[in-house]
Amino acid sequence: MNRISILAAVAMIALSLPAMAADPGAACAGVRYERIGSYTVERLNRIMSKELSEFSSFKTAYPAAKNGVDLYRISYDTVIPEQNNRPTRASGLIAVPRVAKRTLPVLSYQHGTVFSGTAVPSNPEESTETRLMVARFAGDGYVVIGADYIGKGLSEEPDSYMVKDATAQACLDMLFASRVVCRALRIEQGDLFLSGWSQGAWSTMVFRHRLESLGIPVKAAATASTPNDLYMLMTRWINNPTALDASYLVALPALFINSYERYYGMSGLSRTAIKPQYWQAANDFYENRIGWEEAAKLLPATVADLLQPEFAAASSMAASPFFRQLQDNQAYRWRYATPSRYYFGKADEVMPPSIATLPVEYARALGGAAAEAVYAGDGADHRGTFLYGVYDQKVWFDSLMGR
């Protein structure tokens, strides 16, 4: 029996166990959780007004929250498939609505890129992105779950940035662990929805692929600013930069390269790829020894200037193991079983619409579940695309349940 099957069996067995004490403690072998706080309706509404406006100037308005929310940090066993299924621990968040109803829909939210090890779902006070999702969804009766990913939160591993199977596995095991905890809290999980933004949109896609391959039903999925094709994205940054590009784009190859060196056994990749004068800063940034504010002073302005010329030149023909791995880590090439929406904005400084909407024409060519591109507006930058998507997908998900 493979690791996925074992975890699925454990989860199913655990769901049949009697409910246990709510906090803190072990829900079953390998799954632990603790209550880390709560948000009142007033706080949730402040998140969706004052804190939202501090996050972005993009104009949007969310309906008021209907219920308070309890927050739980969870830790659980998982494995790293890229390292022969080496066991490790990961963490995440479960946000539980304070409602009388005991069967609730579930939103699995996959977070975007963060430039620290702690600005993750299980530490929501450092993650405005997470708080907005909790306010919008858990504040209206959804259980919201979110994996921190391997290498973030409580994990002691290196950051698994855009590592395909490790990301899917961490999200899958988070879902199984959340079922155990919800059962302990006397909650039955109903329809499963998926959502993510930026890196989290890619994570949502590879997680969704894993769920569909296992026959685990997903009611619908929605992603914003989705990096469906990592090779296309990285090669564009190197060879065809634009005036719209975000100033922090140079940070992302530093994460990609160091992550792939560690998880795919590409020994010496970072020194081959990154110019010597920038190597130490890129490595320190990846390992969270310095933050982006300091790294920005030490790294160059463009992706092409960060990289060794020979390495950058190899991007055009994918003439290296790194660029071939980026090609393998695409997140959209299969025939979909889940209805999906892909949000994109004209002013997105990170994700070009051409990349964010790749799955739509692909799905039309192959048939299967509907895939729809949704325009967030001319003024929708990276954060604006996220905010529009959060508003719209909630309306869509509700309609699918007849709410």
Do 390 and 248 fall within a single domain?
A: no
Do 339 and 197 fall within a single domain?
A: yes
Q: Could you read off the pLDDT of 63-122 as tens digits, one per residue?
A: 999 999 999 999 999 999 999 999 999 999 999 999 999 999 999 999 999 999 999 999
Q: Could you read off the pLDDT of 216-268 as tens digits, one per residue?
A: 999 999 999 999 999 999 999 999 999 999 999 999 999 999 999 999 999 99
Q: Could you read off the pLDDT of 160-184 as tens digits, one per residue?
A: 999 999 999 999 999 999 999 999 9
Among residues 328, 348, 383, the one where a domain terminates is 328
Do 279 and 166 fall within a single domain?
A: no
Which secondary structure element, helix H or strand E, spans residue 129, and what is its range? helix 128-137
Do 375 and 242 fall within a single domain?
A: no
Do 177 and 304 fall within a single domain?
A: no
User: Cα(391)–Cα(136) distance, rounded to whole angstroms?
Assistant: 8
Question: What sign results for the dihedral spanned by CA atoms 346, 349, 350, 355?
Answer: positive
pLDDT band (50, 70, 90) for residue 356: very high
Do 238 and 117 fall within a single domain?
A: no
**Domains held by the chain: number:** 2
The SS3 call for residue 269 is helix
What does the pLDDT read at residue 27? 55
Helices 3-15 and 164-184: crossing angle, nearest 10°? 10
- Cis-peptide into 63, omega within 30 deg: no
Residue 113: how many other CB atoms lie within 10 Å: 18
Q: Could you read off the pLDDT of 357-380 as tens digits, one per residue?
A: 999 999 999 999 999 999 999 999
Q: Which bin fits 356, alpha (ψ -120 to 50), beta or left (φ > 0)? A: alpha
The values of phi and psi at residue 152, to 5°, are -125, 165
Do 313 and 365 fall within a single domain?
A: no
User: Cα(115)–Cα(329) distance, rounded to whole angstroms?
Assistant: 21
Residue 1 pLDDT greater than 60, yes or no: no
Residue 290 pLDDT greater than 50, yes or no: yes
What does the pLDDT read at residue 26? 57
* One-letter identity of residue 378: D
Q: Could you read off the pLDDT of 18-40 as tens digits, one per residue?
A: 333 333 445 566 999 999 999 99
Among residues 293, 328, 363, the one where a domain terminates is 328
Do 43 and 123 fall within a single domain?
A: yes
Do 247 and 387 fall within a single domain?
A: no
Please, which residues have CB within 8 angstroms of residue 127's CB and are 6 or more apart in sequence?
111, 114, 119, 120, 121
User: Cα(27)–Cα(19) distance, rounded to whole angstroms?
Assistant: 9
Here the CATH number for the domain that contains residue 221 is 3.40.50.1820
Q: Identify whether the C-beta of residue 140 lies closer than 8 Å to the C-beta of residue 65.
A: yes
Do 272 and 369 fall within a single domain?
A: no
Residue 287: how many other CB atoms lie within 10 Å: 13
Structure tokens at 243: 């005036």
User: Cα(330)–Cα(383) distance, rounded to whole angstroms?
Assistant: 23
The values of phi and psi at residue 135, to 5°, are -65, -45
Domain containing residue 139: 3-229+333-400
Q: Identify whether the C-beta of residue 291 lies closer than 8 Å to the C-beta of residue 119.
A: no
Mean pLDDT for the stretch of residues 52-65:
97
Among residues 328, 351, 367, the one where a domain terminates is 328
Here the CATH number for the domain that contains residue 305 is 1.10.260.160
Question: To 5 degrees, how large is the angle CA 392–CA 397–CA 400?
Answer: 130
What does the pLDDT read at residue 4? 44
**Residue of 239, 376, 381, 260 whose CA lies nearest to 313:** 239
Do 250 and 221 fall within a single domain?
A: no
- Strand residues in 81-174 grouped as ranges (E): 86-97, 103-110, 143-147
Do 160 and 190 fall within a single domain?
A: yes
